[in-house]
Each structure stands twice: as structure tokens, then as C-alpha cells.
Amino acid sequence: MVGTGAPRWRAFAKALGWTLAFFLLGLALTVAFSMAAAALGPGPFRQQLKALGHPSLRSALIQGISQTLGFGLATWVIGFRVLKLTTTDLRWRSLRAGPRFLVPGLLIGIVPALVAVGLGMTLGGARFLPDTGSFGEWAGDVGLTALALAPAALSEELIFRGVPQVALAKVIGRGSALLMIAGLFGAAHLFNPGSTPLAVTNIAIAGIFLGLAFYTPGGIWAAFGAHLGWNAALAAMDAPVSGLPLPIPYINYSPGGPAWLTGGSFGPEGGLIATVALVLALPLLIRWTRREAA
């Protein structure tokens, strides 16, 4: 028994160590890319960013691109070169097959977001108020917002559902690795504006939700789509995304109350309505994961 347990713990410690190395390297590279972007100063790229309107959205785009580049490079160094993981291990599909899984992934994220907001309107008095701007401006801003949020969603999938989840799953199994990484995913949002214990718990549940999407036949594409679908759907309804306000024209979302139910200023993710919406979606994802052999 000891002879079996000791090697397993050594393997776990090794996987944990390389996971930490991955996080540190990715973070350092992200900072480097962010500093490089800041050093560019005003230029054509910065001028075009003004079209995105809200400063939070511009900041999310630059941060998302920096993280994607940083953790993409860290994936190559730690995942491919050191741990000898393959594209199959990391559940990357070909670029040709990717969109086929991205679309259902988007729906996986959009539907629970709609359910959460719908519950907020039914149970918590949340409502949409008229705002300045036209429907056409709303549609244009929704498209730009989704494009700006895409790098952030992709980068977070590389960070959490990429090398760390795969490396740990090889040692402790998919379920344990999924729960462990989901906890880290929730903790990573501790310092978001307006964060609460319930908000962090909900984001950890979202980590389980996205981890299950990762283990569907769509792999990283499905997880990326679900992540982007959830964030973009909330933003399209003018609701804050993980505490980040992304105002859009034409409609104004009023969260109602109490905050523990509707999420208040943190957005639906901060309330019990999100807990219900995400938990209801988990059995459907579990069923989809069973379509692919472990």
C-alpha cells in the first residue's frame, strides 16, 4: 500500500509543481506583453480601440490578448516541450473542426445566462429600462463587445482548462482535477469589483460547468464557446460581467434585489439565480461528456 501511495503522491507533487510553473511563466509573459502594449503608446491600434467605447472593454481586450499570448507561449513551453502533452491531450481540435464545436459551445453558455436573468426578473424584480441609442447601435455594440471579450475567454480557458487540468487529471483523475481547478478559477475572481463569497462560489461552479464543457467532444472549443457565450449574453443584456460594467446603448439593466438573489452590482453571477441556472445546466453537460469515451 505504501509502495503504491508514495509514487502517486510524488506524481501528484510533480504535476502540481509544473502547474505552478505554468501559472508563474504565463503570468510573467502576460505582464511582459502588457508592458509591451503600453510601451507602444498612442497609435493606429490604440485609436481603433476607441471604437469599443467603454474603457473597461478596452482594458479587457488588451488584457485578454496579453494573457492569450502569455499563456499560449507557456502552454508551448510547459505543456508541449516539458510535459510532452499532445494536441489530443489538451483537447484542441483542428481549426477546421473548431467552429463546428464553437457554435454549440456558445449556446451552452448563452442559455444559462438567459435563465439567470429571467429568474432575476421573475423573482427579484430585475428589469430592462430604456436607454439612449437605437437598436442598431445596440446590435453593433453587442458584436464589438463579444469580439473584445473573446480573447479574455480564450485565455482563461488556456489558463485553467488547459495544461493545469490535463496535467493534474493524468494523476488524480478528471473529476478531482476538475474540482480542484474550479476552486482556483473561483479564487482568481476574489478581487473583482463587488466580489462576495457567493459570487466566488458561483464562479467556482462555473468552473465546473466549463470543465465539463472541456470534456465534451468539442474540447477546448466547446469550453471557449461556453465561456464567451455566458459573458457575451450578460453583456448584451447590459448586466455586469463578474463585477465588470460594460454599458451598451438602447437598454439599461436594473438588477432589482436583494443582492444575494440577483447579484446586485456584481451582475447575475453574484446571486443565487446564477447558482440555480448553472446547477441546472450541469446534468446536461454531464450527459454530453458521456458521448465521448474517457
Over range 54-71, report the average pLDDT. 86
Please count the other Cβ atoms lying within 10 Å of the Cβ belonging to residue 23.
18
With H, G, I as helix, E, B as strand and everything else as coil, classify residue 118.
Answer: helix
pLDDT greater at residue 5 or residue 193: 193
User: CA–CA separation, 288 vs 294, rounded Å?
Assistant: 12
Q: What is the dihedral of CA 229, 214, 205, 151, to 10 degrees?
A: -40
DSSP result, 174-209: HHHHHHHHHHHHHHTTTTSTT--HHHHHHHHHHHHH
**Per-residue confidence (pLDDT) for residue 116, from 0 to 100:** 97
Among 56-60, 61-65, 87-91, 206-210, the range with the most confident prediction by mean pLDDT is 206-210
If pLDDT is split at 50, 70 and 90, which confidence band does 53 have? Answer: low
Give the model confidence (pLDDT) of 95-119 as tens digits.
666 777 888 899 999 999 999 999 9
**Per-residue confidence (pLDDT) for residue 205, from 0 to 100:** 98
Q: What percent of the chain has pLDDT over 70?
A: 89
**Per-residue confidence (pLDDT) for residue 103, from 0 to 100:** 85
Q: Is the pLDDT of residue 46 over 60?
A: no
Burial class of residue 128 (count of CB atoms within 10 Å of its CB; 0-12, 13-18, 19+): middle
If pLDDT is split at 50, 70 and 90, which confidence band does 7 have? Answer: confident
**Per-residue confidence (pLDDT) for residue 247, from 0 to 100:** 84
- What mean pLDDT is reported for the chain? 90
Which DSSP symbol is given to 94? Answer: P
**Per-residue confidence (pLDDT) for residue 293, from 0 to 100:** 46
**Per-residue confidence (pLDDT) for residue 171, from 0 to 100:** 95
Strands (E) located in the chain: 127-130, 251-254
User: CA–CA separation, 33 vs 234, rounded Å?
Assistant: 28
Q: Is the pLDDT of residue 1 over 50?
A: no
- Pairing outcome for strands 251-254 and 127-130: antiparallel
User: CA–CA separation, 291 vs 285, rounded Å?
Assistant: 10
Contact assessment for residue 99 and residue 224, using Cβ atoms and an 8 Å cutoff: no
Over range 180-204, report the average pLDDT. 96
If pLDDT is split at 50, 70 and 90, which confidence band does 268 have? Answer: very high
**Per-residue confidence (pLDDT) for residue 39, from 0 to 100:** 78
- Among 41-50, 101-110, 193-202, 273-282, which is the least confidently predicted range? 41-50
Contact assessment for residue 164 and residue 19, using Cβ atoms and an 8 Å cutoff: yes
- Peptide linkage before 55 cis (omega within 30 of 0): no
Give the model confidence (pLDDT) of 195-239 as tens digits.
999 999 999 999 999 999 999 988 999 999 999 999 999 999 999
Contact assessment for residue 129 and residue 43, using Cβ atoms and an 8 Å cutoff: no
Q: Is the pLDDT of residue 4 over 80?
A: no
**Per-residue confidence (pLDDT) for residue 3, from 0 to 100:** 46
With H, G, I as helix, E, B as strand and everything else as coil, classify residue 240.
Answer: coil
